[in-house]
Amino acid sequence: MPNRDYSAGRHFLQIPGPTNVPDRVLRAMDHPTIDHRGPAFTDLGKRCLDGMKTIFKTDTHVVIYPASGTGAWEAALVNLLCEGDTVLMVETGHFASLWQKMATSLGLKTEFLETDWRRGVDPQAVEDRLRDDSAGEIRAVCVVHNETSTGSRSRIGEVRKAMDAAGHTALLMVDTISSLASIDYRHDEWGVDVTVSGSQKGLMLPPGLSFNALSERAIAVSRNGGMNRSYWDWHDQIAANASGAFPFTPATNLLYGLAEAIDMLHEEGLDNVFARHDRHAEATRRAVQAWGLEVLCQEPQDYSSSLTAVLLPEGHDADALRATILQHFDMSLGNGLSRLAGKVFRIGHLGDFNDLMLMGTLSGVEMGLKLADIPHQSGGAATAMQYLAQTADVRSAS
């Protein structure tokens, strides 16, 4: 009997994570699992630990956990903060809200600066709040670099400057789960104390690994501070990592994939990787504009280069549109999360992605808009195509 469920060709996984896993990474992971305490492992461990420092742009230390990104959020909080400590967070969207909820359930007091979910962090708002905190009660500022629910990026270098301008000593923690290796990020230069990330977005791996990049100050504070913890403790990791090992069984096969992904990012060159994402994001926004639809992010300086959230006209259901596109064109798009449910769909354009994949994606969206009877003008995909053709030399020139 033929399998009637078979769909020919590759599925288009255009959600903003997990992203398409390149063949090179799949092949690298297709390897017998080895003794993680044997001599062959050390090389792999060191390649990953040292390699991730080049991706975060830090000289200090990167901790690697077998966990989803959420685990690395918790690790960042429990290694540095105590029950009852106050943290300042910014409600940029669904993911910032989940991190805030976690902080609350760990016993932290959170102050949550509101936004309308259509922009990134306002550095001035952070500065104003910190200036008011003359007693120094705020122990940490926690922000999301790229808010995956809205397609808004926050300017972390400016948040750092705002903290310095206020003369405040709070620690800075940043979630880069959907931006690392897609959007320019500089852990050391921007004075970040903990950067949180995960494997399944810009790093082009399957889900299952997550990261904490640390500062010297974070390491020092955590030595005698933080909450009771065991699995997430940085110091067991740092001690074992010195010889390329881990304190418990690492996700060996994901590490094979990670080492390969790091090599691929450097072969392309990180600046070229960022330029590629910027260009695909710009082409996508031009398509959205030509369709006569609205990009959710309203602040051009905060546009995300890894995904675009698109608002549908009132009375039209974004989930029905996504279902139509999945059914007819075998493409998955991101859904609207919490208060955006049904109102937006999200186009992921990050990770292992090129011009023709973007054209396939935008063509699928445009055909879906037609099939689902969403009021729009045709020609968005053609507009993107024109832009890509005009800027094709950017890739080889940069």
Ligand X SMILES: *Cc1c(COP(=O)(O)O)cnc(C)c1O
What is the binding site for ligand X (CB under 6 A)? 17, 68-70, 95, 144, 148, 175, 177-178, 198, 207
For the bound state, the minimum distance from the C-beta of residue 62 to ligand X, rounded and expressed in Å, comes to 17
- C-beta closer to ligand X: residue 175 or 193: 175
Tokens of residue 315, six digits: 């009375």
For the bound state, the minimum distance from the C-beta of residue 122 to ligand X, rounded and expressed in Å, comes to 18
Asked whether the beta carbons of 110 and 86 are under 8 A apart, the reply is yes
Instruction: Specify the DSSP class assigned to residue 338.
Output: G
Tokens of residue 116, six digits: 């309308």
What three-state secondary structure class fits 196?
Answer: strand
* Ramachandran angles phi, psi of 106, nearest 5°: -85, 0
Asked whether the beta carbons of 118 and 297 are under 8 A apart, the reply is yes
- C-beta closer to ligand X: residue 344 or 369: 344
Residue number of the CB closest to ligand X reads 69
- C-beta closer to ligand X: residue 143 or 293: 143
Amino acid code (one letter) for 133: D
Q: How far is CA 298 from the centre of its chain?
A: 20
For CA atoms 382, 386, 391, 393, give the dihedral sign. Answer: positive
For the bound state, the minimum distance from the C-beta of residue 71 to ligand X, rounded and expressed in Å, comes to 7
- C-beta closer to ligand X: residue 17 or 120: 17
Asked whether the beta carbons of 119 and 137 are under 8 A apart, the reply is no
Task: State the burial class of residue 57 (Cβ atoms within 10 Å of its Cβ: 0-12, 13-18, 19+).
Answer: middle
For the bound state, the minimum distance from the C-beta of residue 212 to ligand X, rounded and expressed in Å, comes to 13
CA distances from 87 to 129, 170, 315 (A): 12, 9, 38
For the bound state, the minimum distance from the C-beta of residue 1 to ligand X, rounded and expressed in Å, comes to 37
For the bound state, the minimum distance from the C-beta of residue 342 to ligand X, rounded and expressed in Å, comes to 20
- C-beta closer to ligand X: residue 14 or 324: 14
- C-beta closer to ligand X: residue 95 or 234: 95
